[in-house]
Amino acid sequence: MNDLDTLQVTELIAFIGTIVQAAAAVLLAGLFFLLSRRAGRRLYVQAWTWALVALTVGIAAVVASYAAQYPLPTTGFQKNPTFLVHVFQAVYLFSKLMFGGLLVLGAAAYAERAPTRTRLQGAILGLAIFSIVTVALLRTLDRIVVIQALAVAPMFAVGAVVLHRMPPARRGIGSRLTMLVCVVDALLWLAYGVGFSLIWAHEMVPDYVNPLGGLLRANPFIDTVMEMLLAFGLVVMINEQVEREVEEERTGRLTELAAASDRLGAVIRAAVDAIVLLDATGRVTLSNAAADLMFAPPGGTAAGKRFADCVVDSDRMELARWLDVPVAGDARNLALLGLRPDGTSFSIEASAAEVSLGGASHRLLVIRDITVREKAEAERLELQKRLAQFEKSEALGRLISGITHELNNPLAAILTAIGDLLETEPDGTQRQGLAAVYEQAQRCRLITRNLVYFIRGGEGQRQETSPVQVVTRAVDELRQEAARRQVTLTLEAPESLPAIMADPIALEQVVANLTLNAMEAADQGGRVRVLVTVRDGRLLLAVEDNGPGIPPLLLSRIFDPFFTRKPAGKGSGLGLPVALGIVQHHGGTLMAENIAPPGRGARVSAEIPFGPGRRRLQAEEKPASPNQRRALIVDDEAPVRSPLRRFLERRGWQVVEAEDGEQGLRILRGHEFPDFDLILSDLKMPGMSGIDLHNRLLEERPELLQRIVFITGDVVSAEVAEFLKRTARPVLEKPFELTELEQVVARLNAAPREIDSD
C-alpha cells in the first residue's frame, strides 16, 4: 500500500471514529437534558449538560470539517485548509475548551466552590478569542490539537483535584470514578499533544509516528469510551447528591416535627404565658392576664387591640407574613420584639395554632417573655464555661504536680551524681559523655521547673536578693549552652544594685527562660545581650537578640501558654508564659518588642519594683571557718544523699546521713555528734516528713531551725507552699545542681554586709 492509500485509510478511520464519537455525544447530551429537568436548577447539572452540548458541537464541527475536505486530499496534513474549514476548526477548538471548562465548573459547583457569573462570562469570552487567534495562526488541525492538548489536559487535572479535595462525607463511587477518568483524560491529552507535536515537527501522518501512531489513529474511539465513562461517573454523582439531599430533607422534617411537638407540650404546660385569640382581621378578641400585663396599660386589657400594634414596626411585616401562612395543626414559633404600653421593647416568642369557634377560623397565639430566659441562659453558659475551665485547670495542676514530683526525685539524683562525678573526672571521652548527660538532665530540669512555676503562678519564697548576683549566676550557667549553639552571650550589669525582695530561684528562671528564648531566635552565629540596670526606680532586666524579630501578628500571642513557633520537640511553649507569671507576681511587667529597623532582632524587658528597704548588698560573702563545719543530710533516697555527702566532704565538711526524719531527729537529740552547722532535709519522706521534723525541732531545739535548708521536688501542693512561706527557710527545688547547693550554703553561713544606699 502506497503513502496515498495509507493516508486515505488513516483519515477514513478517523472520520468514522469521529462519527461514532458525535453520535455518543448527542446521546449523552440528550440524557443530561432529561436529567437536568428531573434534578432541578442545580448549577453542576446545568454545567455538565452544557459541557456535553459543547462537546457535541465540537465533534460536529470536526465532522463538517472532514466533509468540507472530501474527497480525501493527497497531501495529508500538509495541505492548506479553506476558510470554511478554518471556521469549523475554530468552532471545534472553542467547543472542546468549553467542554473542559464547563466540566471543571460543574465539579467546582458540586464541591460548593463555583466561580462568580462575571468570571464565568470573562472566561467564555477569553476562550472564544483564544480559539479564533489559535486557528488563524496555526491553520492546520494537527497544530491546533497540540494547543488544545496544552489547555484541555490541565482542565481535566484541575477537575480531578477539585473532586479529590471534597470533604470525605461528600465523596462517593461517582466522584471517585469521575476523578479517575479526569486523570486518565489528562494523561491521554498529554500523549495526544506529544504525538501531534511530532506530526507538526516532522510533517508526517500518524501511521509513521511510533509508538504513538496507533493511539493517535484510534483517539476518536478512545475519546468516545472515556466520554461514556465520564458521563456514567457524572450520573452516579448526581444520583448520590440527590439521595443525600432527600435524606437531609427527610431528617430536617422529622426534626421540625419533633420540635413542633415539644413546643406544643410546652405551651400546654406553661399557664403563665400570655395567650391571645385573633380574629380574621388580626384583632385580639380574647386575652389572659399575662397578655394584659404585657401589652395593656395597668388595669387595662389587650382585647380589642390589633396584635400588630403590640410589636415594633420593623417586625410587623414579618408578623403579617407569618399569620398569613395557614397552620396545619402544629404550632409554629416566631421570635419578635414586643412593645410594652410605655413604648419599651422586649423579646418575645409566639406560637400559633388554628382553632374554629362558632364556625369562624381564629388564630390562637401563646406568647412568652424570653428576656429573663435569654439573660439566664447567657449567665448559665458563661458560668458553665468558667466552671469547666476551672475544673480543667485544677485537674491539670494536680496531674502536673504529681508528674513533676515523681520526675524531680530521679532528676535530682542524676544531676547531683553527675555533678559530683564531673568534679573528679579528668578530661577525656568519659567526661564528655557525662557532660552530655548532664546537659540533657538540665534541660529536663528546666522543663519541670517551667511546669511548676506555670501551675504555681510565681508563688515562692521572698527574701532580700542581689539582682546582679542572680542574673550573673543564671547567665554563667547558660554560657556552655551558648557556646554549643555558637551564640555570643554578653552580660552588661553594674557591680552592685539595690537589693530586691524576690524569690531568687524564680528570678533565675526568668533570666534562663528569656535568654534561652533569645538564643533560639539568634540561632547559630547570632548574638544575645543581657542588660541589668535601674530605670524609673525599678529593676530593669532586658534580653536582646539579633534574630529576625517577632512577626507583628504574633506579638500579642507569644505570652500565651503552650504557644510556640519552634518545631515539635524543640519547645514546650511555657518559657515566656512562666516568665510573665513570675514577673507579674513580683509586681512587675514583661513586654516584648522588635528592635528598629525591622528584622534587626527583638527585645524582652522586665521591670520589677525593688520593694521596701532598698539596701546595697556586697557581692563578696564571708565563709565560715571550714574546721568547724558539720552537716546532717536527711533524705530517704540514697542516690540523692551520696553525691551530696561527697560534695560536702570534698569541701572540708563532716557529714552524717539519716534515712528518714525519725533517724535525723534521734541524731539531733543525741550527744554522739556536736551541733550541726547545716541540716539538709527532704520535705516528703515515709514516716516522719521534713515538715514533721521541723515542727519537732521547733518544740525541742528551736536554735537549730536557722541552720535548716529544705530539699523538695514538690513546691506546688498547697501544704508545702504554705509551710515554706510560713517558715521562710531556704529551699533547693529538685532537681538542683551542686553549684546551687554551694551558693545556698554560702548564704546561710555568711550574712551579707550592708552598704548605705544613695
Please tell me the distance from the alpha carbon of residue 728 to that of residue 462, in angstroms, as a whole number: 8
Does the structure show a pLDDT above 50 at 675? Answer: yes
Does the structure show a pLDDT above 50 at 477? Answer: yes
Does the structure show a pLDDT above 50 at 507? Answer: yes
Question: In the prediction, which pLDDT does 121 show?
Answer: 60
Alpha-carbon dihedral of residues 558, 560, 562, 564, nearest 10 degrees?
Answer: -10
Does the structure show a pLDDT above 90 at 237? Answer: no
| DSSP string for residues in 695-746 | HHHHHH-GGGGGGEEEEES---SHHHHHHHHHH---EEESS--HHHHHHHHH
Beta pairing class for 654-658 and 754-755: unpaired
Does the structure show a pLDDT above 90 at 259? Answer: no
Calculate mean pLDDT across residues 696-720: 83
Q: How far apart are the first and last CA of the chain?
A: 115
- Predicted confidence (pLDDT) per residue in 106-127, tens digit: 888 887 766 656 665 666 666 6
Question: In the prediction, which pLDDT does 681 show?
Answer: 92
Among 190-204, 276-290, 352-366, 719-733, whose mean pLDDT is lowest? Answer: 190-204
Calculate mean pLDDT across residues 202-231: 66
Rounded to 5 degrees, what are φ and ψ at 544?
-120, 150
Please tell me the distance from the alpha carbon of residue 302 to that of residue 309, in angstroms, as a whole number: 10
Does the structure show a pLDDT above 70 at 233? Answer: yes
Question: In the prediction, which pLDDT does 77 show?
Answer: 41
Cα dihedral sign, 296-302-306-308: positive
Higher-confidence position of 300 and 409: 300
State percent of the chain over pLDDT 90: 6
Question: What is the number of alpha carbons within 13 Å of residue 296 lying toward its C-beta?
Answer: 20
- Predicted confidence (pLDDT) per residue in 433-452, tens digit: 776 676 667 667 666 666 66
Question: In the prediction, which pLDDT does 372 show?
Answer: 72
Which residues, in sequence order, are bridge partners of residue 678? 631
Question: In the prediction, which pLDDT does 758 show?
Answer: 38
Does the structure show a pLDDT above 80 at 8? Answer: no
Does the structure show a pLDDT above 50 at 366? Answer: yes
Question: In the prediction, which pLDDT does 231 show?
Answer: 84
709-719 as b/e: b if 16+ CB within 10 A: bbbbbbbbbee
| DSSP string for residues in 341-368 | TTS-EEEEEEEEEEEEETTEEEEEEEEE
Question: In the prediction, which pLDDT does 738 show?
Answer: 80
- Predicted confidence (pLDDT) per residue in 74-107, tens digit: 334 435 567 777 777 777 777 778 888 888 888 8
Calculate mean pLDDT across residues 640-646: 84
Give the confidence band of 186 by pLDDT, cuts at 50, 70, 90: confident
Question: In the prediction, which pLDDT does 531 show?
Answer: 94
Question: In the prediction, which pLDDT does 215 show?
Answer: 63
Calculate mean pLDDT across residues 201-215: 53
Peptide bond preceding 211 in cis form (omega within 30 of 0) = yes
Question: In the prediction, which pLDDT does 24 show?
Answer: 78
Higher-confidence position of 743 and 8: 743
- Predicted confidence (pLDDT) per residue in 690-705, tens digit: 899 999 988 888 888 8
Please tell me the distance from the alpha carbon of residue 343 to that of residue 341, in angstroms, as a whole number: 5
User: pLDDT averaged over the chain?
Assistant: 76
Q: Supply the Cα-derived Rg of the chain in whole angstroms.
A: 43
